[in-house]
């Protein structure tokens, strides 16, 4: 890498000269006239593989914003610029073969491209096809002769297969491409609800749930991997926030829609509607134009099932999901025991606040760092659990829901973006499989753990004890990052 500026017309004593401490830049020097306003210059080097993001800041003297082509002299100083200067930001490439500097990242890079919209809509209809059955399926199990204990078995069959499928689905997206797996997953989401119609006993119904769980795991992992490929690195947090609104919209509207269809049209038509919604996920998967992926000479032929670089953000998401397992499982019983009204309002408020905040908190993580947003989210999570344990009125109950939603809005987009930051492009599918599996595992583990705790202490003390989970997560984050709020590199 060679970076050279011709001497300034000012005297040597009136200029600032320096040498970069970065490797491979010996002899690098620059000079700027002291008549220029003082500002900070940021030197950002990206390796040829995009695996490092080293930064060095140094005070310089610089004129107003200048944008020049490489080698073209500045009209103000006559210096030939071998890089781009804009508002104190100097950006160039460490790759010696690169003839031109990398473009400056910024908010002008679009998020809502064709691929992003198709990906988000495929994700929306995948979740909607699932959630439209969520509140009605226990009723169907009882109607076909199932016992109360078998209701849990039917529900668990979906969760277990979805969790088990994600690591393999992630690895498959890295090998065969995101679109192919999305198409397969969308096809499964469209066909699996039809199996419910012919399932007139519990055992065939469990088989149908296994098929749908596999399709859901494949589709959810593939859409997340494609998201990492099609959004600009400088706006990953913001893009994840917007993308996640499709999940929340399906969660907010799906169960209520399912009840309305069941009451008006019956189970057969409900399953047909679920199949139709899942087919829309298949359609939008077909409309995706997957960007070509560049293979790297030293990259492995097959990504691992579990990606180590994703384990740290996955652990943070696991801690959140561990509390969510207790909230979603026992909140209805807790609300009834306290006389807090309709427990469904908690989830309505939560979904509304999350949809309002996700894009904003994701944008904050792009600007200030992932940890700078995730850690306040953990604090909000701890406070919300304390308030929930003490809630004795409907306003306090719903205020807790809003604060719990703030916690999720801070933690999930920033940790998802951190996964994208830390892994190489050819391993993003497996990494997203690792990350999303942590959410599934946390919810399942939380339901079991807090079930035992609530049996020993009661619901109020259970939520108070759950406050220790985000406290542990904050301690682990600070220990693992040595107190730094930003970890990982944008690639």
pLDDT in tens, 69-95: 344 433 333 333 333 333 333 333 333
36 contacts: CB under 8 Å, gap ≥ 6: 61, 62, 63
Span 450-464, average pLDDT: 87
* pLDDT range class, residue 26, cuts 50, 70, 90: very low
439 token code pair: 């959410």
**Three-state DSSP class for residue 400:** helix
pLDDT at residue number 484:
62
Neighbouring C-beta atoms of residue 36, cutoff 10 Å: 17
Are the C-beta atoms of 414 and 362 separated by less than 8 Å?
Answer: yes
Fold of 309-491: Growth Hormone; Chain: A; (1.20.1250)
Pick 428 or 191 by higher pLDDT. Answer: 191
Backbone angles phi, psi at 287, to 5 degrees: -80, -10
pLDDT at residue number 240:
85
Side-chain half-sphere exposure of 308, counting CA atoms within 13 A: 0
* pLDDT range class, residue 483, cuts 50, 70, 90: low
Secondary structure E strands in 174-232: none
pLDDT at residue number 40:
33
Whole-angstrom distance, CA of residue 436 vs CA of residue 445: 14
Backbone angles phi, psi at 342, to 5 degrees: -70, 115
The yes-or-no verdict on residue 49 having pLDDT over 50 is no
Secondary structure E strands in 173-317: none
Pick among 1.20.1250.20, 1.10.579.10, 3.40.1710.10, 1.10.10.10: CATH of 107-293: 1.20.1250.20
What's the pLDDT tens digit per position in 365-385?
888 888 889 999 999 999 999
What's the pLDDT tens digit per position in 142-162?
888 887 667 777 877 887 888
* pLDDT range class, residue 487, cuts 50, 70, 90: very low
* pLDDT range class, residue 44, cuts 50, 70, 90: very low
pLDDT at residue number 469:
92
CA–CA distance from 72 to each of 5, 6, 83 (Å)?
Answer: 11, 12, 10
H or E segment and range at residue 9: none
Identical fold, 107-293 and 309-491: yes
pLDDT at residue number 296:
54
Domain boundary assignment for the chain: 1-104, 107-293, 309-491
Whole-angstrom distance, CA of residue 367 vs CA of residue 364: 5
Give the residue from 400, 406, 340 showing the smallest Cα distance to 374.
406
The yes-or-no verdict on residue 491 having pLDDT over 60 is no
């Amino acid at each position: 890498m060679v970076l050279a500026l011709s001497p300034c017309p000012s005297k040597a004593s009136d200029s600032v000269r320096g040498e970069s401490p970065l490797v491979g830049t010996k002899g690098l020097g620059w000079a700027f006239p002291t008549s220029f306003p003082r500002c900070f210059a940021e030197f950002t080097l990206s390796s040829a593989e995009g695996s490092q993001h080293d930064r060095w800041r140094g005070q310089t003297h610089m004129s107003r914003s200048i944008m020049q082509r490489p080698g073209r002299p500045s009209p103000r100083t006559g210096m030939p610029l071998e890089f781009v200067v804009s508002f104190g930001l100097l950006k160039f490439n460490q790759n010696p073969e690169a003839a031109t500097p990398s473009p400056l990242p910024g908010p002008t890079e679009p998020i809502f491209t064709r691929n992003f919209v198709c990906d988000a809509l495929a994700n929306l209809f995948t979740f909607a096809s699932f959630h439209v059955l969520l509140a009605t399926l226990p009723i169907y199990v009882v109607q076909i002769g199932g016992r109360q204990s078998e209701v849990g078995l039917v529900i668990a069959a979906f969760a277990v297969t979805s969790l088990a499928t994600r690591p393999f689905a992630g690895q498959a997206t890295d090998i065969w491409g995101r679109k192919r797996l999305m198409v397969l997953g969308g096809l499964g989401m469209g066909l699996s609800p039809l199996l419910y119609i012919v399932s007139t006993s519990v055992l065939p119904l469990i088989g149908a749930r296994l098929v749908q769980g596999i399709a859901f795991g494949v589709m959810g992992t593939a859409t997340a991997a494609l998201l990492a490929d099609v959004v600009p690195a400088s706006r990953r947090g913001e893009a994840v926030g917007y993308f996640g609104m499709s999940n929340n919209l399906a969660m907010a509207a799906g169960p209520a829609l399912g009840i309305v269809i069941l009451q008006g049209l019956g189970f057969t038509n409900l399953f047909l509607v679920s199949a139709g919604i899942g087919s829309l996920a298949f359609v939008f998967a077909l409309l995706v134009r997957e960007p070509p992926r560049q293979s790297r000479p030293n990259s492995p032929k097959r990504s691992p099932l579990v990606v180590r670089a994703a384990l740290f953000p996955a652990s943070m998401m696991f801690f959140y999901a561990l509390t969510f397992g207790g909230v979603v499982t026992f909140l209805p019983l807790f609300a009834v025991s306290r006389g807090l009204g309709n427990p469904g309002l908690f989830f309505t408020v939560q979904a509304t606040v999350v949809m309002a905040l996700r894009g904003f908190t994701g944008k904050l993580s792009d600007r200030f760092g992932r940890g700078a947003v995730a850690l306040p989210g953990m604090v909000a999570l701890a406070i919300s659990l304390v308030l929930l344990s003490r809630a004795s009125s409907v306003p306090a109950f719903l205020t807790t829901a809003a604060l719990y939603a703030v916690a999720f809005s801070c933690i999930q987009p920033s940790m998802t973006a951190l996964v994208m930051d830390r892994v190489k492009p050819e391993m993003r599918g497996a990494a997203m499989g690792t990350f999303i599996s942590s959410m599934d595992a946390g919810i399942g583990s939380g339901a079991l753990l807090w079930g035992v705790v609530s049996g020993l202490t009661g619901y109020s003390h259970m939520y108070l004890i759950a406050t220790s989970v985000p406290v542990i997560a904050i301690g682990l984050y600070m220990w693992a990052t040595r107190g730094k709020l930003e970890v990982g590199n944008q690639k």
